[in-house]
Amino acid sequence: MSAATAKPRVVCISQARMTSTRLPGKVLMEAAGRPLLAHHLGRLARCRTLDALVLATTANGTDDPVAELAGSLGVPVFRGDEQDVLGRFAGAAAMAGADVVVRVTADCPLIDPALVDRVVTAFLESAPPLDYLSLDVTRFPRGLDAEVFTRAALDEAAANATDPAEREHVTAHLYRRPERFRIGGPLTPQDGSVLDQRWCVDEPADLELVRRLLGALLPENPGFGWQDCCNLLRQHPEWADLNGSVRQNTLH
């Protein structure tokens, strides 16, 4: 930042690749007439707290279509090592001149821009300043996940992390070290609810649920939020059973 009073440059970095193990090519699969990645990036473009949005994908030829789609939507692309996602994020953050980084993943086509803005605002307004803050993934449906951290913390992690899990999961080096980094308490739903649902796409059953939600919500309300998804699922409780048996891969 050019001056102590300057607003930090907030850059959202989304990670995407075609070679996911459970559902290869999922980010380019279609729902409501558009690839999941296009839904994801379009929703993030409505965030009010972001200065830039970047897609971090791999240098593999298999990810050329991912890079091409992002480029066609006006989203800059950084390409790096497939396994070293932490290094990929650090490279993307440097390319975009980030001071603060927001991490999301492209298998979340229902991500809510208002929730992203909420966690970014809480991070920027925290006193004393934080190094890391996230939404509480145990209270919100999976698929809304967003983490915010300083570029300095990201660069330190990229320089020092040696555990392969910490290279793959980007922020594990931070939240595993509360004695080194100032970790904020995760943000919970404002109504105190706990919603054990999956709106991210890892398996065909997840894709079917997301297709139903997008197909029902987009025609009526293109700017729908996560509570609109909740309301629709209350009307169609059987939809939530579609992917009820899918387990989340997690390091938390």
Q: Quick one: which H or E segment has residue 58? A: strand 52-58
Backbone angles phi, psi at 15, to 5 degrees: -100, 140
Tokens, residue 9: 């440059």
Those residues with Cβ within 8 angstroms of residue 49's Cβ, 6 or more apart along the chain or in another chain: 10, 116, 117, 120, 121, 124
pTM, two decimal places: 0.94
Those residues with Cβ within 8 angstroms of residue 21's Cβ, 6 or more apart along the chain or in another chain: none
Chain segment 82-106, per-residue pLDDT in tens: 999 999 999 999 999 999 999 999 9
Alpha carbon 41 to chain centroid distance?
A: 10
C-alpha distances in Å from residue 36, one per residue of 8, 69, 168 = 30, 11, 22
- pLDDT exceeds 70 at position 4: no
- pLDDT exceeds 80 at position 134: yes
Chain segment 144-173, per-residue pLDDT in tens: 999 999 999 999 999 999 999 999 999 999
**85-89, 226-230, 241-245: the lowest-pLDDT one:** 241-245
As a whole-number percent, the residues of the chain with pLDDT over 90 amount to 89
Those residues with Cβ within 8 angstroms of residue 87's Cβ, 6 or more apart along the chain or in another chain: 80, 81, 158, 167
- The partner residues of 80 in beta bridges, in order of sequence, read 58
- pLDDT exceeds 80 at position 66: yes
Give the whole-angstrom CA distance, residue 207 versus residue 211. Answer: 6
Q: Quick one: which H or E segment has residue 94? A: helix 85-96
Backbone angles phi, psi at 104, to 5 degrees: -135, 170
